[in-house]
Structure formats: C-alpha cells, structure tokens
Amino acid sequence: IKKIAILTSGGDAPGMNAAIRAVVRSALDKGLDVYGIYEGYRGLHQNKIKQLTRYSVSDIINKGGTFLGSARFPEFKDPAVRTECAEVLRSHGIDALVVIGGDGSYTGAKLLTEEHGFPCIGLPGTIDNDIPGTDYTIGYQTALETAVVCIDRLRDTSSSHHRISIVEIMGRHCSDLTLSAAIAGGCEYAIAAEIGFNKEELIQEIESSFAKGKNHALIVITELVTDVHQLAKDIEARVGNETRATVLGHIQRGGTPSAFDRILASRMGVYAVDLLLQGEKGRCVGIQNEKLVHHDIIDAIDNMRRPFKADLLDVANKLV
C-alpha cells in the first residue's frame, strides 16, 4: 500500500476531524500518500479528491463537523456506481480507503472490498452510539455533554414556572444518549426507543407525583418514539401544568469535540492505518473494554447487535 484515501459519510459527528487528522498524520509518518475525498461517496463518484499534507489537517482537532464534508448518496447502493467509484480510486493510484461513518457507510465500504478487492477500513463516526462492534462511537460523548447542558437549562426554567418539560434526544433506535442524559440530567422520566412507553401510565405517574407536591418534571425521550408536541398537549390537558416539548435535534451534532472523543478518534485513526499496513480489509474499528479491536464489517452489522442498556434505565428510574 502506497496511497490511501479517507472520506466521511452519513451524519456528521464531533471528533470526525480528529479522526481524519490522525489517519492523515499517521499515514504520512509511515511514508504513505494520503488523499481526502470530499462529500462522502458522492464526492468519490464526482472525483472530488485532493492530496492532503500534514498542514491540510492543522487546526481542526478542536473543530466539530468534518472539513471533508459528508453526504447521503443512495446511488452507491447500485453496483454499477460502485464500479465507477472503484475506477476513480484506481485512476488516482489509491490503494486503500478509510471510511468514517455509520453502518450504512460501513456497508458501502465492505462492498467496495468484496466486489473490487479494495481494502477498506471503517471507523465508527456518529453521535447515536448505535454501531455494532464498539462500546463507543466517535461523537457520542460530546453529544451527551451537549444534551446535558440543554437539560440543565430546561430544568432552570421548568422549575421556575412549575412546568413539565419533554426533551427529545437523538439516537434513532438506540437510547444510550437518552438514558445517559437522563441520569446526568437528573430527569424524572426516561423513555427509551427499545422499550417504548405507555402514555396513560406516564400521565398517571406524573399526576400522582404532582399530587404529592412535586411541581416540575423533566421527561427525556428518544427521537422517533412519538410526536413529542402531541404528548406535551396530552400531558398538559390532564395534569394542568404547562407542558412544553423541546426537540434538541442537530444542536447535538455540532460543537467542539470533547477530550474523550478527540482521544478516541486519534487512537482509532492511527489503528486504522496500522490495520491497512498489516493487510487487513473489510474491517471496522471499535473500542471494547478499553481495547481497540477490529471486526469483519458485515459480521459486526449482522451479528453484533448492541444490547439495550437496561442497567442505565434502572439507575435512572431509581434516582427519581
């Protein structure tokens, strides 16, 4: 391997820049040439490729987002489009590819390896912490800190106005962010996507806690579970107290990456280059029990479902 390329794909996450920087600098240190592919697989198809130097990645370790840009490119699911992309890579003499993204991006990387013999390594970049084969994804810890800051602010105003606040947290079908934010934010109710909830029971619990003298409540809920604005109306209609829903949305995706995410991203980036130099391909990088690991991408996606963190829900529920 003499020339490698790197791209970021799917939703952005804080710490992606630190991962790019680590891949670029460790590859240069090993005497490789490094190319940046702008805007994910779409940019690859459009030949948006530039050689990177160590200075291309100066001053980005502390920046959120990804300076390479990211994109959704569903056309990459078409084998003919992937063949064209492999040709673009070959036309630059690129031997291997590092893909930072979620499981969709991983699948694309694995297909390039399988169909075109193109060595690819995936790094887990998403705030959702929903990628198999790793305990933590790059961006998750930063998003958690952001969510907790937002919850703290909502707590101030909720308690001043005796209000009920519903906070919708990202994570798609994974509630790691919701449950951790519930504990750190001292929230009264945590609703996880994996478990769902019974609206009637929730309202009755709120009613009885207000009857005992409580005068505000914070409810955290994973996105896609229910329409939180309708839920707020339903709670207010029954309990009487003003109830507001706040959707944190993309606020959670931005911002300065935490030290944890910068370090995780740096370690994973260096490890990815080492794996490529050892001849590995079609692998995804993770951290499990504090150790860097790598798995077959498809095996990870198909067989390493992340367990629901029932212990976190239990702690959140016990501390109300």
Which residue's CB is nearer to ligand ATP, number 110 or number 163?
A: 110
**Selected binder of ligand ATP within 8, 9, 241, 243 (CB under 6 A):** 9
Binding site annotation covers 252? yes
Q: How many residues belong to the site for ligand ATP (CB under 6 A)?
A: 18
Which residue sits closest to ligand ATP, CB atoms considered? 104
Residues 29 and 272 sit within 8 Å (Cβ to Cβ): no
Rounded to a whole number of angstroms, the minimum distance from the CB of residue 182 to ligand ATP is: 22
Q: For residue 55, what are the CA distances in angstroms to 3, 51, 66, 77?
A: 18, 11, 16, 34
What mask, x for binding ligand ATP by CB under 6 A, covers residues 61 to 90? -----------xxx-xx-------------
Catalytic residue (one of 29, 78, 128, 227): 128
d(CA 243, CA 232): 5
Binding mask 151-190 vs ligand ATP (x if CB under 6 A, - otherwise)? ----------------------------------------
Is 278 marked as a binding-site residue? no
Return d(Cα 35, Cα 230) in angstroms, integer: 48
Residue 65 or residue 185: which is nearer to ligand ATP going by CB? 65
Q: Which stretch binds ligand ATP (CB under 6 A): 96-104, 143-151, 251-259, 278-286?
A: 96-104
Residue 187 is labelled as binding a ligand: yes
**Among 3-11, 231-239, 243-251, 285-293, the segment contacting ligand ATP (CB under 6 A):** 3-11
Identify how many contiguous H helices and E strands the chain contains and give both numbers: 11, 11
* 127 labelled ligand-binding: yes
- Can you tell me which of 38, 41, 136, 189 binds ligand ATP, judged by CB under 6 A? 41
Dist CA 31 CA 290 (whole Å): 29
* Integer Cα distance of 189 and 198 in angstroms: 12
Across 142-259, the runs of DSSP E, i.e. the strands, are 164-169, 189-191, 217-222, 243-247
Strands 33-37 and 49-52 come out as antiparallel
Strand extents, DSSP E, the chain: 3-8, 33-37, 49-52, 96-101, 120-124, 164-169, 189-191, 217-222, 243-247, 283-288, 291-296
Q: Which residues contact 176 (CB under 8 A, 6 or more apart)?
A: 128, 129, 130, 140, 309, 312
Under the binding rule (CB under 6 A), the answer on residue 140 touching ligand ATP is no
Is 128 labeled as catalytic in the residue annotation? yes
| Residues in the annotated binding site | 11, 21-25, 54-59, 72-73, 102-105, 126-128, 155, 163, 170-172, 186-188, 212, 214-216, 223, 244, 250-253
Q: Which residues are marked as active site?
A: 128
Interface residue list for ligand ATP (CB under 6 A): 9-11, 41, 72-74, 76-77, 101-105, 107-108, 111, 126
